[in-house]
Structure 1
Amino acid sequence: MNPNATRHAALTAVATHLPARVVTNDELEAEFAPAGVAKIAAKTGIDRRHVVGEGETTADLAVAAAEELFRRHGVDRREVDFVLLCTQSPDHAMPTTSCLVQARLGLRTDIGALDLGMGCSGYVYGLGVAKALVESGQANTVLLLTADTLSRYVNPADRQLRVIFGDGAAASLVTATADEPSLRGLSYGTDGSGAPHLIVPHGGLADGAVLSPKSTAEARGLVSNGYDMYMDGAEVFTFSLRVVPEIVEEALRRSGLDLGDIDAFVFHQANAFMLETLRKKLGIAPERFVVEMRDCGNTTSSSIPIALDAALASGQLRPGMTTMFVGFGVGLSWGAVVVDL
């Protein structure tokens, strides 16, 4: 683009990837009999989830999503100036997974690569960082990847979390444009005091530092798998009902828009019951509210772009629409952004 033109960032392409292995509710029901999972599954709105196979890693999913983006949208990988990889399940403590992905994708070496250690709000945060890189002139094209393999963290005997979480990845392209701003109203929130409510208590350098007595494997009647991901569902639900309406209002205010100006909303796909409660609380009509998790589960930072990609494919979302993305969860962390498709 003309170096003298006003620079704005635009979301120009998205693609997704789910691992081949599928775990259905029927399989979980048989595994956890006689306790079963039917009641939990009915509230989550999830029928099946994709999980990584033996030896499959977060980098594998990220690379597959990026290759799908390049293929489907005809993107020349030589145009990528920066790689942002949002994950909370990196392949290694060091180096960053984004460096591994840069090499495996055969991208230029005169580019930046950075991991964002974010979860459920990570896609919104990633769009914010990508926008800053583009509009400050540091990059013309940012490859934003979200990828997680949280099935590695979930204890095999934890039926609540086994029902909810799935693995997956998404690739998005954020590029420079001289058009009107199309990523607007970015708003963020953080409350680290709520960290104990959604946490992987083991496997890090602070292993053994118990933030919540309820999070230990022993307290939950589990044999530790070395990670033992824990979620206090009631606390996370209460937190979401409090912060989501506030962040929606803040993003609208910063954008100079009203709720009625938004054609469609894509929230983090936490679970169906939570989304329906939030939809009603905000007064959003069902046809303006995207729900796409039945076949993939809660994929944390990838849930918004996976839902976006599916809604574009089905025609629920169309180019030219004004949308709002809202992420919320682990951290505790939340964010919202208005996106013109």
Structure 2
Amino acid sequence: MAARIAAVSYHLPAATLSNADLAAEFPEWSVEKIGAKTGIVNRHVAADDEFASDLAVAAAQRLFDEHGIDPNSIDYVLLCTQSPDYYMPTTAVLVQERLGLRTSVGATDITLGCSGYVYALGLAKGLIESGQVRNVLVLTTDTYTRFVNPRDKSVRTLFGDGASASLVTDDGGADALGSFVYGSDGSGGGQLVVPNGGLKGSEAYPAASPEARGFESNGYDLYMDGPGIFNFTLEIVPKSVDAVLAKAGLQQDEVDLWVFHQANAFMLEHLRKKLGVPSEHFVVAMGESGNTVSSTIPIALVEAERAGQLTRGMKVMILGFGVGLSWAGAVLEW
């Protein structure tokens, strides 16, 4: 048995927040400055009555329609989100029912952010190659914009809402999804955190409180220590790349395409230069979606294929990093 990504699709909400919209609210930041700093032109924003399950269902339906996939072939739903509809029940179960999938399928959530897609692929691979199931529907979905304080331009310029759907299947061929490397460091939990809205409260992360930042709370108040996350990323990503290459038995120039978590263009350009990857082999695809957290890598894969940058048979390095702190990398054959 060997797991492979057979198909990927994604869905974005209809409403958008443009750089012009943001510049009108924050006159000290021009349209040009926002674009240069983030690499983002538009972010999609979920409506008030639109939640993680809605985005996931739309992405899954698009996957089924675009790739001719029979929903009855799905054996397991693995859904990654940090903005679930409810504390309980799990969002994956709600999605299973709404998609009309068999009640004999497994369905579970995993709670991860920027590294979540890679973690989910690793779990899907384990389910398939241990003989438990044949086809896993991997969903990533988040509505991070709900967490963002409207006065916090440092994160409001970055995050957008969205969802992706991937079919991971056993195709009986050679291993096309592997060499997984994982990492986590909870000591950095306060670097990217939603301090309010959970059961524990914000006492553990006083720097993240809206009062400390001069905001009136919106009930969630997502906080990001930008310099801390940037420094963490520049340290951990090259080490992770080396670890994945070593595990895969590859040299760097044997990787055809590099698809990292689409945090922001400034960070990605630093990483590309630090690693010495030619720009034509490095994907930047967040301009019309923003940082959609666990959905950025699958969105980038779809966009790279549409642009002709990604073609069948390519070896692709994927790497997610961020909130947690958490990171994960792997090599896939497209």
Q: TM-score, normalised by structure 2?
A: 0.98
Q: 1:279 aligns with which of 249, 272, 285?
A: 272
Partners in 1 of 2:283 and 2:210 — Cα distance? 35
Partner amino acid, structure 2, of 1:87: T
Deviations 1:296-321 (A, max 9, x none): 11000000000100111111101111
After the TM superposition, which residues 1-341 of structure 1 pair with which residues of structure 2 at under 5 Å, given as runs? 7-34=1-28, 38-211=32-205, 213-341=206-334
Contact 2:19/2:34 (8 A) holds in 1: no
CA distance in 2, matches of 1:155, 1:221: 11
SS in 2 for 1:228: coil
1:4 alignment partner in structure 2: none
Identity %: 55
The aligned counterpart of 1:3 is none
Instruction: Quote the Cα distance in structure 1 between the aligned partners of 2:92 and 2:148.
Output: 23
Q: Structure 2 unaligned segments of length 5 or more: list them.
A: none
Deviations 1:18-59, CA, capped at 9 Å, x for gaps: 000011000111012256575344211111100101210010
Greater CA drift, 37-46 or 55-64: 37-46
**3-state SS of 1:110 partner:** coil
* Number of residue-to-residue matches in the alignment: 334
Alpha carbon RMSD of aligned pairs, Å?
1.0
Q: Is the 8 A contact 2:34 2:40 kept in 1?
A: no
Is 1:86–1:147's contact at 8 Å kept on the other side of the alignment?
A: yes
What do the CA deviations read for 1:171-209 (whole angstroms, capped 9, x no partner)? 000001221100121000100000000000000011132
The one-letter code matched in structure 2 to 1:149 is T
Q: Contact between 1:37 and 1:159, CA under 8 Å: does it hold in 2?
A: no
Q: TM-score, normalising length from structure 1?
A: 0.96
**Distance across 2 between alignment mates of 1:275 and 1:34:** 25
Q: Per the alignment, in what secondary structure is the counterpart of residue 290 of structure 1?
A: coil
The answer for unaligned runs of 5 or more in structure 1 is: 1-6
Q: Matches of 1:35 and 1:237 in 2, distance apart? A: 21
Is the 8 Å Cα contact of residues 40 and 160 (structure 1) preserved in structure 2?
A: no
